[in-house]
Amino acid sequence: MKTYIILFDGVCNLCNSSVQRVIRKDKKNQFKFSSLQSDFGQNFLRKRNLSSKDFDSVILYEPDAAYYIKSTAVLKIAQIIGFPYNLFTIFMIIPAPIRNIIYDLFAKNRYKWFGKKESCMVPTPELKEKFLN
């Protein structure tokens, strides 16, 4: 079974609640998580010459295969989680640049609309093995 890594903004309330939702729905234990602010997240960006200013909300990484950004990452995560979230993959018919206009609107306003933490989430002991770093 494949393992996927979700890199997310560790101080964003929307991102953190989304991670919690994915953890609850991840019945096959396919996902690991890392904040983009972590050493793992920063190394991931640096190795791919990606700017943390441009990629600051969500990345789905399939080790040794590919990585997906923005709306494509969100839709791929929904697809992997399965029903009913996989129904959202119908939006893949819309070209990514158009989908990302909406994604970027949310990403740009996520702190204003959903709030921000002072520091990254600390996983509970039960969830610690799902987080890298």
Domain ranges of the chain: 4-130
How far apart, in whole angstroms, are the C-alpha atoms of residue 106 and residue 97?
A: 15
- pLDDT tens for residues 51-88? 776 666 788 998 888 999 899 999 999 999 999 999 99
For residue 101, what pLDDT band results from cuts at 50, 70 and 90? very high
pTM: 0.86
Which among 5, 15, 35 is positioned nearest to 107, based on CA atoms? 15
Q: Do 33 and 5 meet the contact criterion of CB atoms below 8 Å apart?
A: yes
With a cut of 80, say whether residue 126 has pLDDT above it: no
Tally the C-alpha atoms within 13 A of residue 126's C-alpha that lie toward its C-beta. 3
Three-point CA angle 125, 129, 50, nearest 5°: 120
pLDDT one-digit tens code per residue, 16-47: 888 989 999 998 999 999 988 889 989 988 88
